[in-house]
Amino acid sequence: MERFKAVIFVLLVSCICRTLGQSCQGFCDIDLGACSCEPTCTSLKTCCTDYREYCVNTFPYSGTIFGGTDFVVLDATFNQSSQIICRFDDSIDTLGYVDDTSRGHCISPLLYETGWVSLHISDHGMRFDRVGSWLSVHSGKVDPKFKANLVNSTKWQYYGTPNVGGSLEMTWNTSLVRADRVNIELWGYKETGEPYSDNWQGRWEYLYSLAKHQPNSGSFSFVPKPAGNGFSSWELGSVRVSPSTYPDGTWNVQAAWTEDHALAWHLEEKFRQDSAAWALEKCLAWDLLEEELPNFLNEIIDCPCTLAQARADTGRFHTDYGCDIEKGSVCTHHPGSVHCVRAIQASPSYGAGQQCCYDKNGTQVLTADSIGGSTPDRAHDWGSPPFKKPPRIPGFSHWVHDVLSFYYCCLWSDNCKYYFKHRPSTDCREYEPPSSAVVFGDPHFITFDGVSYTFNGKGEYTLVTHRLLRIQGRTEPVNETSINATMLTSVAMENIRFNIIEVRLASAHNHLEVLQNHKTLSFAEQSWMNFDDSFVFCPTPTNVTVMFPSGAGVEVRLREGTMTTTVLLPEEFKGSIRGLLGNMNDDPKDDLVHSNGQPVQNYSNPEEVFRIGANFCK
């Protein structure tokens, strides 16, 4: 009996202890009541004591889609007997390690998707109880300092064509590979199966070794030879530098990868003898293949007519990293153009992309007139959700369907007409610029239909409400003194999938903060982030642009301590919105109406405007 009591006592005590010291182990993103494991807990100071141990942050938090990035698991405790396994996207395991200072590390894997993927970490291979996330980035958007770089990429690109030969060189920062000796390997990408069927798949494979046990000197030169054993049939690939301690072709080890590129340098002898004839043959075969594939051109959006329009339509178009006027207009594939943009969204059923290029006069360059013309893409360069399978695999699918064929027809031979037959520029005949509305200053509103007024309400108000999107603004007094003036301090955007992106003025009023579902995002490493139903671009702490699948864009800017918000909506939204920014039906008279349906008489009368504003108070 005594013993029985003791057992009950122990059970009771352990119960009490568990509630008192609630743990985030297995409960990230959940509010446990007594304490919280939600991301907001840090600012609310309600975190459970082991929040950081189990809901982990990493440094860096992002890396190339190729994988091989070594990152530290911050704040979690490991010891020398830990055997770290990192699980990405609930499916790919990589081996981590513990360093001399007992910090845990993971290695990111090669992925077929970009954006945030889940990360679960296990200490002894049993419970994957540490939870975080990893941002996979398109290799074209990754800073060159995190890659192995092709020295004179033009030479790599044309190697084996007339008068281009000799040795090739690549360089990398030696700290990207933690080893004294490295192996240099070639990996290739191919797509197999019936296009647009379930068995259509993309796959990276280890091909062969270029050199083994080289000093990790940060540079490697070689004289390329045509590949044997059928490997020259791989036309797209990337060179990997990895520690020589691993067997050849080991997946997902720390590595520096080059940009994926056309493997001119290892193509068969026939290419070296007559590259133009070889390329024409490939170009003609591609022409035949394209004839059989479904036409995606009707599905893509028209190009803006001018450079100014293209740069203003930030909800639907974004700078093409391959030809950017802000970065000196290096337009390798678009000679004569100074700037190109890409349609942000892939087309709905084919995942196709649109690209629009402009010359120095700001006029659209068309393939009918110039080899540097804008060309649409069967596979959007940035891929598109749900990723993982062609044609939606970021970067790689685009290479296979739109870039290799450009090499065959336009770069390695002079038969661009075949390429342009299937990838003609889209002109701007059906292009309609978006409508815009603005909130700025104290706060001042200009509606989509051009009505301008000041509204000094304090609180949360609906700026735009629509079936697909709701945009809310929060206004607060300019300062604590009794002046009634208010200003915009936050804009929250809620998409149909209930993902909430909030952009708000930081308390010091010197930068903007971006939150996704209440979690603060850091743009320290990447200025572009994709979520399953939105994109966020934040090139500086005072410029944030949020883009939605509907083509809606919201630009938030901070200038001299004041937030300005511009909402851009394509014409599909016409007449189907409401809110403080009006109804967007080209009629300024009915933008704001009283609850009895009566339009506002006098926008200069603060009392009348105030009564209207109250209707849109959240």
Ligand X SMILES: *[C@@H]1O[C@H](CO)[C@@H](O)[C@H](O)[C@H]1NC(C)=O
Binding site for Ca ion (CB under 5 A): 449, 583, 585, 587, 590-591
Rounded to a whole number of angstroms, the minimum distance from the CB of residue 555 to ligand X is 6
229 binds, among ligand X, Ca ion, none (CB under 5 to 8 A by kind): none
DSSP run (H or E) holding 420? helix 416-422
Q: Which does 479 bind (CB under 5 to 8 A by kind): Ca ion, ligand X, none?
A: ligand X
Which tokens in the block code for residue 491?
Answer: 């804009």
**What is the footprint of ligand X within residues 327-386 (CB under 6 A)?**
359-361, 363
Residue 543, SS3 per DSSP: strand
Q: Which is nearer to ligand X, 56 or 352 (CB)?
A: 56
**Helix, strand, coil percent content, the chain, rounded in steps of 5:** 20, 30, 50
The count of residues interacting with ligand X (CB under 6 A) is 25
Residue 585 contact, options Ca ion, ligand X, none, Cβ 5-8 Å cut-off depending on partner type: Ca ion
We find the least distance from the C-beta atom of residue 321 to ligand X, in angstroms, to be 14
Q: Find which of Ca ion, ligand X, none residue 167 binds, CB within 5 to 8 Å per kind.
A: none
Which runs of consecutive H residues, i.e. helices, occur in 313-382?
A: none
- Find the binder of ligand X among 162, 602, 611, 617 (CB under 6 A): 602
**Distance from CA of residue 114 to its chain's centroid?**
6
**DSSP SS3 for 440:** strand
Sheet holding 62-64, edge to edge: 62-64, 130-137, 115-122, 85-88, 92-95
Residue 374 contacts residue 303 (beta carbons within 8 Å):
yes
Q: Which residues of 592-604 are buried (b: 16+ CB within 10 A; e: fewer)?
A: beeeeeeebeebe
When asked if residue 209 is in the footprint of ligand X (CB under 6 A), the reply is no
**591 binds, options ligand X, Ca ion, none, Cβ within 5 to 8 A by partner type:** Ca ion
Cα 417 from Cα 371, distance rounded (Å): 9
CB of residue 474 to Ca ion, shortest distance in Å? 24
Using CB under 6 A as the binding rule, whether residue 325 contacts ligand X is answered as no
Phi first, then psi: give them for residue 237, nearest 5 degrees: -170, -170
The footprint of ligand X on residues 123-182 (CB under 6 A) is 123, 145, 152, 154-155, 164, 173, 175
Burial class (CB in 10 A: 0-12, 13-18, 19+), 170: buried
C-beta separation of 458 from 486 below 8 A? yes
Could you say whether residue 221 binds ligand X (CB under 6 A)?
A: no
C-beta nearest to Ca ion: residue: 449
| Side-chain-facing half-sphere of 173: CA atoms under 13 Å | 8
User: Integer distance in angstroms from the first to the last C-alpha of the chain?
Assistant: 62
Q: How far is the CB of 591 from Ca ion (least distance, A)?
A: 4
566: left (phi over 0), alpha (psi -120 to 50) or beta: beta
Beta bridge partners of 461: 473, 617
Residue from the set 19, 49, 221, 604 that interacts with ligand X by CB under 6 A: 604
Q: Which is nearer to ligand X, 26 or 539 (CB)?
A: 539
Q: Footprint of ligand X on residues 516-545 (CB under 6 A)?
A: 539-540, 543
Kindly state the smallest distance separating residue 175's Cβ from ligand X, in Å: 4
Residues 57-86 that bind ligand X (CB under 6 A): 79, 81
Question: Could you tell me the smallest distance in angstroms from the CB atom of residue 593 to ligand X?
Answer: 17
> Token digits for 474?
């929060």
Binding of ligand X at residue 284 (CB under 6 A)? no
**Options 126-134, 206-214, 273-281, 600-608: segment touching ligand X (CB under 6 A):** 600-608
Q: Does 190 bind ligand X (CB under 6 A)?
A: no
> Which residues lie near ligand X (CB under 6 A)?
79, 81, 123, 145, 152, 154-155, 164, 173, 175, 359-361, 363, 479, 481, 483-484, 539-540, 543, 557, 602, 604-605
